[in-house]
Structures are given as structure tokens and as C-alpha cells.
Amino acid sequence: MLHKPLGLLAELTHRCPLGCPYCSNPLALDPREGELDTATWLRVFREAAELGVLQVHLSGGEPGARRDLVDITAGAHAAGLYTNLITSAVGITHKILAALVGAGLDHVQISIQDSEAASADHIAGYAGAFARKLALAAEVVRHKLLLTVNAVVHRANIDRIGDMVDLALALGASRIEIAHVQYYGWALKNRAALMPSRAQVERAAAEVAELRSRHHARIVIDAVVPDYYARYPKPCVGGWGRRSLNVTPAGKVLPCHAAESITGLKFWNVRERSLADIWANSPAFNAFRGTGWMKEPCASCPRRELDFGGCRCQAFALTGDARATDPVCHLALDHAQVAQLAAVQTDAAYAYRHI
Ligand code: SF4
Ligand code: FES
């Protein structure tokens, strides 16, 4: 059965002022000259709404690098989509934010790298980024927009989850997403420098449980166990080709943001085809839809409709076979290597992603 997508991640540009060592953009970035123009994005939004999409996440790179961000937001709003801006805050001035509000922006998600300025700027590889995030968050709340704080945690900052939740509360956020680094693409280069210890992960899980009960009804805290320490994998993107789709800056349509890391998949482009055609018929979307593609142990596992065999990109990164069970699963044939990789930890300097 072909499900309808609910969410569209619009990667407006790969350009970004920050240099995060866990960058989730692909290794080969789309150049500015190859980015979709405004009119094409507006067509994509109309086609997405017709297809059943309810929300668009305006993302990047840093979407503020696009001069037409206000027109793009207005077009998404006019198509009837709920609009969420995902930003580093560097590049969104107060004036641009006011124009975005006028264009119909519904929600803002600001990433933070830590709760302390010096550490946050060190992780982002950008002096002064933290202060800009606080200033933009205050403006978002002043405009009465909903604010989510997104914190990517790893060995350098995982011990300050409580401080990050306090910061999100002080900023007036209604939600904080505590996400662990996903190890594919650029983050693979920094895996050992980002990998938390098991003791850190266990302390963090206990802290999140305590914070949820302490701040119940004040802020929503989203957090999951990091992949390399989990017993079962996450149902990545809610199942391949099932709930969401991504459009890259150059117009390729992907089932997940890291799908280009799987070699051999063919992605269709919105410059040549409609979104509905791509969603239903693209070879990349049909490659891992449903359960028919699965190997054992997933093929006969009672959880196969719950986690869909985990993350295809992680399976490919760790085994070289995108049809393999995600090695994070304790039932996977290659599970032992996950513990071996998690044991490799270092406090060495980061390889930054400067563009
Ligand atoms: Fe999920 Fe496959 Fe593991 Fe079963 S064997 S729990 S379907 S990843
Ligand atoms: Fe691609 Fe998980 S990130 S399937």
C-alpha cells in the first residue's frame, strides 16, 4: 500500500556559516549555481500539498543564505503548508524574521551546540554563534511564534543536558529535541571524537527521565537512546518512502536526508518530474518500501513493521549492504562491530565542515 507523505524537508541550500563536526549534509555538496529557483520551489510546495503533505521544514545548510527565503516561505504558506524554519540563527536578522512572520511562518527551530557560549562556539566552529542564537530565540518568542530548540549531543556536551533544558525553558521554547549524532556522511570522520561513553549515555537517560517528570507540562522533551548503545534500531524516517520526503538544493528527491550516501540508488529530480510521480514511481523510493526487500533476521521478525529494519543509511555505512539489518539491532549478524566501534573514543580535535 502506498502511504501519503506528511512532511517535506526542503533543503534550500547547502551553504552554511557553521562548521559542525557532525554535519548531516552529504559529502558532495550542491553548489549555489545549481540550486532550484524560487518558482520551482513554489511549484514543489503546491505539488506537495496536493500529495497530502501537511508540513514543510525549510532547512539547509542555513536557509538564511537564500535571498528569496521570504518569498519561499510565503509560497509554502499559500500552498496551505505548516511552515517550520530550521536555522542555525546565523544569517536570520531580526528584520528578516519580521518579514518571515509577515509571510506566514508558523514555527522556528533553532539548533544549539551547547548551553555554554565558549563550548557551543567551539563545537560550531564559529565565534559568536551562540549569542546570535539567544538573540534570535528572543525575537521568535516576541513575535509569538512557537519555538523548538534542537540540541545535538555527543561526548563533549552530553553531561549538560539539564543545562540545555534550562536554557530552552529560559528562552521560552515549547519543545526541546535532544538528538544524538548520527554516524554517516561527515560525522563518520569525527566518530571517535563525538562518541559518548556508555556511562555518559546511562547518566543522560536517567537525567532525561528526571527532567521530564520535573518539567512536565512546561516543555516537551524529545530524546531517544543513541544508536550505538540501543538494543533495537530506530524506525528511521518512520519507514523508507512512507511518511516523508526530502528535496535537495538541486532538486533531487530523497527518501531521507542521507540517502545519497547509499551508492547505486537513482534519484529523480523535480526539474523533470512531478512530486507525485517521484513519490509513487522513483526507483530510490521503491527500493526499501514495505518489507519485501528485507533479508533475515528482519524478514521474519515480529518487529519488522515497527522499526522497518532500522536505518538503511547506517546499514550501508557499516556493512556495505543497504538491505542488511541495521547493525544497531542486537539480532543483526554484524551487531558485534557496533560495540567495537562505540569503544573507540578520543578527545582529539574535530575535523570541521567548513564550506
Ligand atoms: Fe527490527 Fe530487523 Fe532487528 Fe527485527 S531483526 S528488531 S525487524 S532490525
Ligand atoms: Fe537514511 Fe536512516 S538516515 S534511512
Indicate if ligand 1 lies below 6 Å from the C-beta of 301. Answer: yes
Please list the residues that pair with 151 across neighbouring strands.
112, 178
Q: For 111, which DSSP code?
A: E
pLDDT digits (tens, 9 = 90+) for 213-222: 999 989 999 9
pLDDT digits (tens, 9 = 90+) for 241-278: 999 999 999 999 999 999 999 999 999 999 999 999 99
| 232 φ/ψ angles, rounded to the nearest 5 degrees | -120, 155
Among the residue ranges 17-21, 115-119, 293-297, the one predicted with the least confidence is: 17-21
pTM, to two decimals: 0.93
Residue to probe by mutation, ligand 1, list 234, 240, 295, 303, most atoms within 8 Å of CB: 303
Beta strand pairing call for 253-254 and 244-247 = antiparallel
Supply the pLDDT for residue 228. Answer: 81
Residue nearest to atom 5 of ligand 1 (CA): 298
Q: Which of the ligands is closest to the CA of residue 327?
A: 1
Supply the pLDDT for residue 143. Answer: 97
CA of 341 from ligand 1 middle (Å) equals 20
Stretch (H or E) spanning 325: none
Indicate if ligand 1 lies below 6 Å from the C-beta of 331. Answer: yes
CA of 317 from ligand 1 middle (Å) equals 17
Side-chain-side CA neighbours of residue 240 (13 Å): 26
pLDDT digits (tens, 9 = 90+) for 136-186: 999 999 999 999 999 999 999 999 999 999 999 999 999 999 999 988 788
| 192 φ/ψ angles, rounded to the nearest 5 degrees | -65, -35
Indicate if ligand 2 lies below 6 Å from the C-beta of 311. Answer: yes
pLDDT digits (tens, 9 = 90+) for 297-342: 999 999 999 999 999 999 999 999 999 999 999 999 999 988 888 8
| 277 φ/ψ angles, rounded to the nearest 5 degrees | -65, -45
Indicate if ligand 2 lies below 6 Å from the C-beta of 105. Answer: no
Indicate if ligand 2 lies below 6 Å from the C-beta of 234. Answer: no
Beta strand pairing call for 175-180 and 107-112 = unpaired
Rounded mean pLDDT of 339-349? 85
Supply the pLDDT for residue 353. Answer: 82
C-alpha cell at 122: 567551539
The distance from CA 3 to its chain's CA centroid, rounded to whole angstroms, is 21
